[in-house]
Structure formats: C-alpha cells, structure tokens
Homo-oligomer: A and B are copies of this chain.
Amino acid sequence: MNDAEQEPLWEGPGEVGLVEPRDFVYGEPFTFESGQTLPGFQIRYETYGHLNEKGDNAILICHALSGDHHCAGIHHLEDRKPGWWNNIIGPGKPIDTRRFFVVCSNCLGGCQGSTGPSSLNPETGKPYGLSFPFVTIRDMVRAQRRLIDHLGIQQLFAVIGGSMGGMQVLQWGIEYPDRVRRLIPLATTARQNAQAIAFNQVGRQAIITDEGWCGGEYEPEKGPRVGLRIARMMAHITYLSDKGMERKFGRRRRQGEKVNYSFETDFEVESYLQYQGKSFLNRFDARSYVYFTRALDYFDLPTQYGSLEDAFAGLKARCLVIGFTSDWLFPPEQNRKIVLAMLNRRKDASYAEIPMDFGHDSFLIDAPELYELVRAFLE
C-alpha cells in the first residue's frame, strides 16, 4: 500500500506519462504588432500522441497567464504533479492522445523556455528586460503558427484554451481561418474590460514599484520578489469566487476556533494565499508577468476590427465557447457576447455555460460536465 502510493500516479494506460519538452528555433526576423522586431525567437513546446500522415489530427492547447507548455504528463517519475491540464489530456481522456496529436507551447514573451524579456539579448549578453518588444495576443499566435508550420501541421483539428489561452484561440480563428477547424475558447473575453485592466495595473504597479525591479534589469534569482508575490496573491483571488472561497475556507482558522490576534496568518485562506504567492516566485519571472498582463489589457477585438462581428467576418472554424457561472474575471456575459457576434455573422458557433463555484479557474478543475462537452465537440 505504501509502496503503491509512492509510485507516480501519472503513469499508466490512461496517462500521457513521461514527456520531454523540445525547443523550436525560428531564425527569421519577426515583427511584432508594435512594430518592434526580433532577429528570431525560440519556442519551447511539448507534444503528446502522434501526428497522422495527412497532418490533420493536431490540437493546439494555449496556456493562460501563469501557465506554460507543460500541460500533460510528467517530466520525471518523481514529479508530484503532472502538467496543468492532465485531467483532460491523455489516452481515452476528452482530448484523446490515441486519436490526436496534442501540441502546447510556452507563449512568446514567456519565461519557461520561450524567448521573452528575461532571455539574454545576444547583442548585449544581458536579459532583454524592457527592451524586449511589447507582446500582444496576436504576436503569440503568429509565433505559434511558425511552430505549427515547423511541425508539418497543415490544418489544426482544434485550438483550445482558457482565459489568456481563450484569447489566443479566438485570434487563431481570425488570423488563420484556413488553418484551424474547431475552436474551444473557455472562460475568456473578446475585450478586456476596465475592472480586469485595473487588477492587472495594481499587480504591475506592485512589481514595478518594488525596489528590486531595477527597471526590469535585475539578475536571476533577484528582482521584485515582494511585488510579484503581492501581484500573484491578489490575482489569485480574482481566479476564485466568493462562494468557492467560502466553501473551501470560510473563516476557518489555522489554530482552532480561538482568535489568534495576529496581522499575518490567522485564517486558513491567508496561509493559502501566502503559499500561492510564494510558490509563484519559483516558477515565474516578473518581467513576463508584466508583459503578459499588458497583452491581456491590449486585447480588444471589437476595436481592433471595427466591431466584434467584423472581427469574425472571415472565421471558418466551428466554435464552442464555454463560460463558467461563477467566473467574475471573465464572466459568462463576456463569453456569451463572443458567440452572439459569431451567430450574427452566420458562423457555426455555440455556447455552453457550466454551473461551477470555482470562479475563473473552473476550467482547470476536474469537471465531468466540461469533459463531456469537449469530448462531444471533438468527435
């Protein structure tokens, strides 16, 4: 029994199991939406399953703000956790790796292997810092397309992603209508609204006004650790929901019922947030956080294309938008608007709203209703 528990849970017939990230190097000049350029870039990615001969069974997974390319399987047998979407990707799972070739890449501008503001600028030998070009959702998608070309994928069977990933999904359908057949954007928006911009702004300010920020030119292991931790703690609240937090933590105390007069961590919800903030420091770079949050803020399809309907004018893919009732960061209303605009343009689009209490992060949580929807839409 004890031996069994020590064996990795993520190896076995229904699991992706051991995987290895790979790097794609694009050696051509790349112009960002801002007009800024890079002589080339690297994209770190993972794949699960096999590409068929026709090259038409690939599914691209797009990650959210704090996600990465490691969405399924494990890197080492000792890993305590698998990739961030392991519950939905694998042999026999809704995104079935026996049938599909699944690709997930770290976004351009990221800090987990893809070129970003913490990468070394070959011209100076130092991190790019703020000299790195501004990255938009469209830039991320255009970089992903180079990877998809490189992998020999003619047409993606589907592009799927939640939150910032959902924005990329929409952008894929708009930018490359002939390269993708199905879209599943989850818990997302076509237009970042004022409240979401405001939260991102506070997070960025916490980072930028931290003395460790040094104009974005800090050394590895240093940097605005106080600010990044605060930014993450705050953002994490916006990923949950009032009801969900109440059910998970309520006013439970760490040390029984007694009031433990303290300004630090008397309540369980407090130590949970502290843990979230601290662990984030070990896996994310503050520069990428600043860049990605700005990419979210600048995402505004209605303005970019004249109207949301016009944004979807050339769309060819079938689209299933999924919203979550308790998501107050990108609430159901914002998800519904996407589908309405598509339907107004006579596109093949549908909307599903899943009643879950876990807030914005619902799409990351074990959810049978979500699994069935995704499975059915991919059949």
Contacts and interface: CB of A to CB of B under 8 A. Distances in A.
Most chain B CB atoms below 10 A, which of A241, A298, A328: A298
A197 B34 CA distance: 40
A240 B194 CA distance: 11
A192 interface: yes
Contact of A270 (B198, B211, B233): B198
A210 interface: yes
Contact of A242 (B195, B240, B250): B195
Given A134-B261, A202-B230, A263-B208, A195 B245 contact: yes
A248 B265 CA distance: 36
A202 B237 contact: yes
A241 B328 CA distance: 11
Contacts of A192: 251
Interface in A144-192: 191-192
Given A226-B210, A230-B202, A303-B251, A194 B246 contact: yes
B205 A233 contact: yes
Contacts of A317: none
A230 B209 contact: yes
Nearest to A191: B251
A210 B208 CA distance: 13
Given A195-B246, A263-B294, A331-B242, A251 B34 contact: no
The A interface is mostly helix, strand or loop, or mixed, namely helix
A251 B208 contact: no
Contacts of A204: 263-264
A193 interface: yes
Interface in A273-309: 273-274, 277, 290, 294, 297-298, 300, 303
Contacts of A195: 237, 240-242, 245-246
Nearest to A266: B297
A34 B261 contact: yes
Interface in A23-77: 34
Contacts of A208: 263-264
A314 to B, nearest CB: 23
Given A237-B195, A242-B331, A270-B197, A251 B294 contact: no
A251 B197 CA distance: 8
B234 A202 contact: yes
Ranked nearest first, the 4 interchain pairs of A and B with the lowest CB-CB distance are: A194-B245, A194-B249, A134-B261, A201-B270
25 contacts: A193-B250, A193-B251, A194-B242, A194-B250, A195-B237, A195-B240, A197-B251, A198-B245, A198-B273, A199-B237, A201-B233, A201-B267, A201-B270, A202-B230, A202-B233, A202-B273, A204-B263, A205-B229, A205-B230, A205-B277, A209-B229, A209-B230, A211-B211, A234-B234, A267-B297
